[in-house]
């Protein structure tokens, strides 16, 4: 006599391993739920007719060696159909993945199930792996696997952060535009690519021979200057005063910040200079990597302009918003009594978890 089992529970045998579902009975009528089979020998208790929600014990499924098949035992009070073959009461037959089962003597009036064997855990991992040729994950400047990969737009070519940072510095000195090293398209934006960084790490973990010496990595890191998305302007040739646009028109040009309009603190933006866009006020500030003033939050790597403009004694922007220093003060200088709602970008679920 078989112990009564609920749907998805064992009839007494041990699970096949870590309670993993190794097979399912999938109803062709999507209004009904799948029957998960987690044990090597399990009594199936489920709906048998679409007109009734009552569950009945109608078969037992036993896993065969090799995970390629199973045996179904008819434990109902009538015959059942397996791939249109009639299986009498107390009868048994082997089933494969894809076998269609009807828990009754005829197709009409009964639910139809499809038996599906799930991939082994190792196979599932392999199915999720993406096959990538390492040649497609190389920086076209140094010809090695990316390190701290960045993506240039609009062409979307990818490079090492250190390689492209050095390329950008040299391009600014010699050319009117920063051109993509690979296709020579004018680069308008460049930023870190966290998705490709994960792929880069997977490739290096799979083939250690592709790793660079620690000395080379240190040189790259020392050259890297891209922390967040950079907006790159183009160098414009200076013209005579007659041909220069009026101040009002120049102030309306894109990528402007207070130091694009006037010399402030002994510095004025170059016409081709790269800029950062403040995450809070959306205003622009020049990208000056060698300054001791923090431009990025160390927690999220996002740019904030408050500390920079405070160091330049700028409290109000002429053509762009400017944050006050209070928006970007170190935590050590603050008295924190609560976490601001904006921390979670108005995500109510995260706020509820925090509270």
User: Chain-wide mean pLDDT for the chain?
Assistant: 79
Q: What is the pLDDT of residues 135-147, one digit of tens each?
A: 999 999 999 999 9
Domains of the chain: 23-128 (2.60.200.20), 134-226 (3.30.40.10), 237-355 (no CATH)
Count other C-beta atoms under 10 Å from residue 220's C-beta.
Answer: 21
Q: What is the pLDDT of residues 130-186, one digit of tens each?
A: 677 889 999 999 999 999 999 999 899 999 999 999 998 888 777 777 889 888 888
Instruction: Return the HEC string of the chain.
Output: CCCCCCCCCCCCCCECCCCCCCEEEEECCCCCCCEEECECEEEEEEECCCCCCCEEEEEEEEECCCCCEEEEEECCCCCEEECCEEECCCCEEEEECCCEEECCCCCCCCCCEEEEECCCHHHHHHHHCCCCCHHHHECCCCCCECCCEEEEECCCCEEEHHHHHHHHHHHHHHCCCCECCCCCCECCEEEECHHHHHHHHHHHHHCHHHCCCHHHHHHHHHHCCCCCCEEECCCCCCCCCCCCCCHHHHHCCCCCCHHHHCCECCECCCCCCEEEECCCCCCEEECCCCCCCCCECCCCCCECCHHHHHHCCCCCCCCCCCCCHHHHCCHHHCCCCCCCHHHHCCCHHHHHHHC
User: What is the sign of the dihedral through the CA atoms of 239, 241, 244 and 248?
Assistant: positive
**Residue scoring higher pLDDT (80 or 125):** 80
Taking CA atoms, 137 is separated from 85, 103, 126, 131, 196, in Å, by: 54, 53, 20, 12, 9
Predicted confidence (pLDDT) at residue 112 exceeds the cutoff of 80: yes
pLDDT at 335: 74
Work out the percent of the chain whose per-residue pLDDT is above 90. Answer: 33
User: 103, 58 in Cβ contact below 8 A?
Assistant: yes
């Amino acid at each position: 006599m078989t112990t009564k089992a609920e749907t998805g529970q064992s009839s007494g045998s041990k699970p096949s391993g870590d309670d993993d579902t190794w097979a399912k009975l999938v109803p062709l009528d999507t209004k009904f739920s799948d029957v998960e089979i987690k044990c090597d020998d399990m009594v199936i208790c489920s709906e048998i007719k679409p007109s009734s929600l009552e569950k009945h014990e109608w078969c037992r499924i036993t896993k065969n060696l090799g995970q390629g098949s199973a045996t179904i035992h008819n434990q109902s009070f009538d015959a059942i159909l397996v791939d249109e073959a009639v299986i009498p009461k107390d009868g048994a037959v082997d089933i494969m993945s894809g076998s269609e089962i009807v828990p009754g003597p005829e197709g009409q009036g009964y639910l139809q199930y499809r038996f599906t064997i799930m991939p082994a855990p190792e196979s599932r991992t392999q199915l999720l792996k993406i096959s990538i040729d390492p040649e497609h994950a190389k920086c076209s400047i140094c010809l090695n696997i990316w390190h701290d990969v960045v993506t240039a737009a609009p062409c979307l070519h990818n490079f090492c952060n250190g390689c492209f940072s050095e390329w950008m510095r040299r391009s600014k000195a010699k050319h009117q535009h920063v051109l993509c090293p690979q296709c020579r398209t004018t680069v308008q934006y460049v930023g870190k690519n966290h998705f490709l960084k994960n792929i880069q790490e997977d490739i290096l973990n799979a083939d250690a021979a592709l790793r660079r010496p620690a000395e080379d990595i240190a040189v790259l890191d020392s050259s890297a200057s891209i922390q967040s998305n950079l907006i790159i302007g183009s160098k414009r040739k200076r013209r005579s005063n007659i041909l220069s646009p009026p101040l009002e028109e120049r102030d309306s040009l894109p990528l402007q910040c207070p130091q694009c309009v006037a010399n402030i603190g002994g510095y004025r933006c170059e016409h081709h200079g790269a800029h950062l866009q403040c995450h809070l006020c959306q205003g622009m500030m020049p990208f000056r990597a060698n300054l001791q003033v923090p431009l990025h939050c160390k927690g999220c790597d996002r740019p904030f302009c408050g500390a920079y403009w405070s160091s330049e004694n700028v409290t109000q922007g002429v053509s762009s918003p400017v944050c006050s220093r209070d928006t970007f003060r170190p935590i050590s200088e603050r008295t924190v009594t609560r976490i601001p709602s904006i921390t979670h970008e108005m995500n109510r679920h995260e706020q509820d978890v925090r509270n």
